[in-house]
Amino acid sequence: DVKVTQSSRYLVKRTGEKVFLECVQDMDHENMFWYRQDPGLGLRLIYFSYDVKMKEKGDIPEGYSVSREKKERFSLILESASTNQTSMYLCASSPTAGGPSEQYFGPGTRLTVT
C-alpha cells in the first residue's frame, strides 16, 4: 500500500515564526502536492512538484515556499506564519502514469497560528 506520511498531526505556532511541514511518500511517485483545506473553500493547491528540485505554483502560493531535494520528500515552508494560514494542510502524491492516476493523501497537519 502507498503510504504518505506527514511530520505532525497538530501544530501550534506563533505569528512570524518560520514553519516547516514535511511530507514523505514511499512509492517512488514523481508528483507531489501541497494543499490547504478550509471550510467552504475545499482543497486548494498551494504548490506542486513533478520531479526532484522541480516545482510549480498552485492557486494560492503566496506566503509559502517548497523544497524537494529528494524524490520521496516534499516540504512546505511558511516563511513568516500569519493567522490567516491557520488551516488543515494536506500532502499528496501520484505517479506519472501514461494515463490518469489517483492521488494518495497523507493524514493532514492541522496548523494553528496564534
Partner 1 sequence: SQKIEQNSEALNIQEGKTATLTCNYTNYSPAYLQWYRQDPGRGPVFLLLIRENEKEKRKERLKVTFDTTLKQSLFHITASQPADSATYLCALPTSGTYKYIFGTGTRLKVLA
Contact footprint for partner 1 (CB under 8 A): 4, 31, 33, 35, 40-43, 45, 48, 50, 56, 58, 90, 92, 94, 96, 100, 102-108, 110
In this complex, which beta carbon is closest to partner 1, that of residue 17 or of residue 38?
Answer: 38
Smallest gap from Cβ 12 to partner 1, in A, equals 16
What are the backbone dihedrals phi and psi of residue 53, each rounded to the nearest 5 degrees, phi first?
65, 5
In this complex, which beta carbon is closest to partner 1, that of residue 87 or of residue 106?
Answer: 106
Tell me the three state secondary structure of residue 103.
coil
Smallest gap from Cβ 67 to partner 1, in A, equals 19
In this complex, which beta carbon is closest to partner 1, that of residue 62 or of residue 100?
Answer: 100
The string over 53-75, giving b where at least 16 C-beta atoms fall within 10 Å of a residue's C-beta and e elsewhere, is eebeebeebeebebbbeebbebb
Q: Find all residues with CB under 8 Å of 67, minimum gap 6, and list them.
A: 74, 75, 77
